[in-house]
Structure 1
């Protein structure tokens, strides 16, 4: 691992796309949703289709390529990276959705799936499908979405249905955007442009084929991407969002420290201290990134030949994802006090990166060690 070189995220994204996304990031915060020019890049690059099956004109990207690209997009801008990650992640459901529904959903040029993984709705079994009611939070990219997905508790005759293990049955559904009410609810310190608002449905009649199940045995597209466990896929993709933002923060620190070094009031020892802190931060970040990418790459190599990835390899993906997210936040918090008031001003790029990181890292999936 010590001799492994891990490329900077800038190696995986077009420089002009970086310029467009960053130059409109402040305006996106003011709009409280992604800027049209940011969306134009996303549509042109087909980032919302990264995980959509190839049979539906999706990219069906490999997991190693996915996490490197997602880290690069989040390095470019936290909100853009987060929306791409969550909405392209929902596109992965195309491997499980009924083919008739999937073919219609993914026929749209600007297809974008947003939604929630929390089971805050109920689906009552009817003669033709289900009647759905519920209200869900944190649907990143909801305002740009063409379709919405949500988990529901299944009921029949008002009684909760149990699964084969005796637990309440919870299944995801896909709705057309027109059938969903978006509710303003996203008022947090960072990730402002993700527009992660709430949504609700009331007495919505849903056809049976709009319900699907996420499990390797339920995949309707036979490919390694849809056999890969959802938990580790989610952990890995969220972790690189946090590392990408952290690397952006460190890059901005370098500019600030360079200017600080020119101040005559700084001693030589203080200048050396700043250089050492940033150098150590970069080395530490790269160590965790190397471990993470090695774990992801190994798990992906394993599933090419066997539909069941060894438990120890999946556990390593989980642990390195958690460690990467945890230490990215710690590294940024060590550097933050050395940046002066520029890092505390909400109008600066470095402050936006700091706010985005500390908001993104609150995600429950990465809160507790696996």
Structure 2
């Protein structure tokens, strides 16, 4: 990505925050670069990237702006569900060059099994990118004749579904201190009848495409994509710290620059460990199509360690930034708010 594009996207970030959503100029770049389709096959107009390749792009975008990186990450992660849809369905959906999936993983809907498929009712929170989602995905508990169906283990049967934009009602209730432009509003469907082909299952056994990304364990896919967003935002925070620290008095500036350089070294070390773990795991899986539990566990550990270190480093440096860091119109304040809004995504907050 050239520096002019980076600078323009950063200039637009403050406008997007004021608007509460990505603006047209940002979306035009996303569509042109196919960032919502990082993991979509070329046959469907995507980039068909490997996981490590996609992570590098997501990290770069999060370094430019937190909301930009977060939207691309979660929407491209949802659009990746193309690998679990029936080919005729996928072809129809991806005929739209501006296709963008978004939704929720929480099973807060009910799908009633009937002779025609399913009748679905539910409301789901936090659909990142809701203003420009063309497809909404959601999980539902399955019922038949008023009885909740169960898996073999005795837990309620849960399946994933997708809905078109016309079928959902969007509730504009995203009201957070950070990641404001991600516009993660709630959406709702009421008594919507869908055919069986509108349901899908996210695991290797149910993948309809051969690409390794659709067979690699989704847990580690999700962990790593969330992790690189915190990494990118933390790197941006450190960049802003450098600008601020260099403007301070000589003695204070020298001490703070030294502290900053130590933080940069620490974060880079954890970044290297993270990417090493990801690449080892990915390469083994791509070569064998078999899950290596040890390397997958290493990915989960490295993701958490890197995210935790990034948050700690940001918190340690924040008090030295001065009142500009408390000014809600400043870049460094926006980054801080974005990082700690992202921290409320629970995936990496507890041991894997």
TM-score (norm 2): 0.98
**Given that residues 107 and 138 in structure 2 are in contact (C-alpha distance below 8 angstroms), is that contact kept between their aligned partners in structure 1?**
yes
C-alpha distance in structure 2 between counterparts of 1:30 and 1:273, whole Å: 35
Deviation, structure 1 residue 52: 1.4
Matched, 1:78 2:82: no
Extract unaligned runs of 5+ from structure 2: none
2:232 maps to 244
Deviation, structure 1 residue 311: 0.4
Matched, 1:226 2:214: yes
- Between stretches 161-170 and 251-260, larger displacement belongs to 161-170
**Given that residues 96 and 221 in structure 1 are in contact (C-alpha distance below 8 angstroms), is that contact kept between their aligned partners in structure 2?**
yes
Deviation, structure 1 residue 200: 0.4
Structure 2 residue matching 1:134: 3-state secondary structure: strand
Residues 315-351 of structure 1 show CA distances to partners (whole Å, capped at 9, x for unaligned) of 0110111111111111011110111001110000111
Structure 2 residue matching 1:123: 3-state secondary structure: strand
1:208 maps to 196
C-alpha distance in structure 1 between counterparts of 2:346 and 2:65, whole Å: 21
What is the root-mean-square deviation of aligned Cα atoms in Å? 1.0
1:22 maps to 10
Matched, 1:196 2:178: no
TM-score (norm 1): 0.93
User: Moved runs in structure 1, 4+ residues, more than 2 A?
Assistant: none
Deviation, structure 1 residue 273: 1.7
2:173 maps to 185
C-alpha distance in structure 2 between counterparts of 1:185 and 1:368, whole Å: 27
1:280 maps to 262
2:128 maps to 140
C-alpha distance in structure 2 between counterparts of 1:173 and 1:20, whole Å: 37
C-alpha distance in structure 1 between counterparts of 2:152 and 2:6, whole Å: 48
Residues 171-226 of structure 1 show CA distances to partners (whole Å, capped at 9, x for unaligned) of 11011011000001111100000000000000000111000001101000012111
C-alpha distance in structure 1 between counterparts of 2:156 and 2:43, whole Å: 33
Deviation, structure 1 residue 32: 0.3
Extract unaligned runs of 5+ from structure 1: 1-12
1:101 to 74, 77, 89: 89
Deviation, structure 1 residue 54: 2.8
C-alpha distance in structure 1 between counterparts of 2:7 and 2:27, whole Å: 13
Matched, 1:59 2:41: no
1:316 maps to 298
Number of residue pairs matched by the alignment: 352
2:311 maps to 329
Deviation, structure 1 residue 14: 2.9
C-alpha distance in structure 1 between counterparts of 2:90 and 2:220, whole Å: 24
Residues 108-128 of structure 1 show CA distances to partners (whole Å, capped at 9, x for unaligned) of 010100100110001000111
1:304 to 278, 283, 286: 286
1:9 maps to none
Deviation, structure 1 residue 19: 1.6
Matched, 1:171 2:153: no
Deviation, structure 1 residue 164: 2.6
**Given that residues 53 and 92 in structure 1 are in contact (C-alpha distance below 8 angstroms), is that contact kept between their aligned partners in structure 2?**
no
